[in-house]
Amino acid sequence: MYKIVKAEQLADKIYLMDVEAPRVARACEPGEFVIVKMDEAGERIPLTICDYDRETGIVTIVFQVVGASTQKMASLKAGDSFRDFVGPLGRPSEFVGEDLETLKNKKMLFVAGGVGTAPVYPQVKWLRNHGIDADVIVGAKTKELLILEDQMRAVAGNLYVTTDDGSYVRKGMVTDVVKDLVQNQGRHYDVCVAIGPMIMMKFVCLLTKELNIPTIVSMNPIMVDGTGMCGACRLTVGGQVKFACVDGPEFDGHQVNFDEAMKRQQMYKTEEGRAMLKLKEGDTHHGGCGNCGND
C-alpha cells in the first residue's frame, strides 16, 4: 500500500497528492510517469510525475477528473492509500542525459498548458538544480484554472503567464506569448518543450516550426494502459508507428501527426471505434511496431 500524505484541490477538477513511494522517488527522473490503482479491481491510471523527494520518499502527482475512476480518486484524503503505485515508467526527458556543459549553453523555452504545467515543473526544477535557467510560459483558460504558479516562479528563469479570457496577467494563447518573445523581443531559443492539451501542442509546433525552433512534446494525454499493450497511445512520428507509453512519452513535436492522434483518441473512446481501429491497424494495433517488446 502507498500512503497518501497530502491531498489538495488546486483548481476546478484538478488535484494534487503527495504519496509515499520510496523506490519510485529514488529512481524517477523528469519526464517519466507512474501507474496508480486505488484497489484490486481499480482502473490503471497513468500519471506523469509532478515532483519527487528522494530523501523523504515522496512522489507528487497531479491529475484532472475526466471520468469515474479519477472522480473516485479525487475523494481520497491524506491517510488513505493506493493499492498500486508502479514506476518510474517511460523514458526520461532527453536533456537529463545530455552533457551538462553543453546544456548550459542552450537557451530553453517551456510552454505549459493547463494540467501540462505539472509535468513541466519537474523538468524546469531539474534544470535549476543543475544551474540552468529556462524561460517558461504557462497558460490557462482562466485565472481560477492556473496551477503551480508560485512553484514554477521559484524555479523558472523568467515566467510568463497568460489566460485565454484575460482574467489574469495577460489575455491570449501561449502561442501569442511565444510570438511576442521571439518576434518582438528578439529572444533566441535552441529548443522548446511544450506540454498540454493536444490541440495546444499542435499549434505550438506549427509556430515553432515556422520559427525554426526544435520542439519536444509529451504525448501523455493519450496514454491509457501505460505498458504498450492496449494500443490507445499508438501514434505516428516521422512516418513510423510509436507508442507514447513505451517509446515516449516525449517526441519530436515537428514529426508527430497530431491530426491523426487526435482523431484516433476520439475514436478510441467508443467500443465501435476501437473495433474499427483494430481492423484498420491490424498487427500494429498494439505492440505490433516491433519496438516496444509487446509484438
In CATH, what number is assigned to the domain containing residue 14?
2.40.30.10
Average pLDDT of the chain is 86
Share of the chain above pLDDT 70, in %: 85
- pLDDT, tens digit, for every residue of 168-198? 889 999 999 999 999 999 999 999 999 999 8
Q: Which residue type is seen at 51? A: D
56 pLDDT higher than 90: yes
pLDDT in the model for residue 255 = 93
Query: Domain limits at 178?
Result: 99-217
117 pLDDT higher than 90: yes
- pLDDT, tens digit, for every residue of 128-156? 999 999 999 999 999 999 999 999 999 99
198 and 223 together in one domain: no
Q: Which residue type is seen at 161? A: V
Q: Residue 271, exposed/middle/buried by CB under 10 A (0-12, 13-18, 19+)?
A: exposed
248 and 168 together in one domain: no
Domains: count for the chain: 3
Determine, yes or no, domain membership for 294.
no
Summarize the confidence of residues 153-162 as an average pLDDT. 96
103 and 192 together in one domain: yes
Q: How confident is the model at residue 247 (pLDDT cuts 50, 70, 90)?
A: confident
pLDDT in the model for residue 270 = 45
212 and 225 together in one domain: no
Q: Cell triple for residue 279?
A: 481492423
177 Rama sector, left if φ>0, alpha if ψ -120 to 50, beta otherwise: alpha
Does residue 161 contact residue 153 with C-beta atoms inside 8 Å? no
pLDDT in the model for residue 276 = 46
180 and 224 together in one domain: no
pLDDT in the model for residue 234 = 77
pLDDT in the model for residue 292 = 44
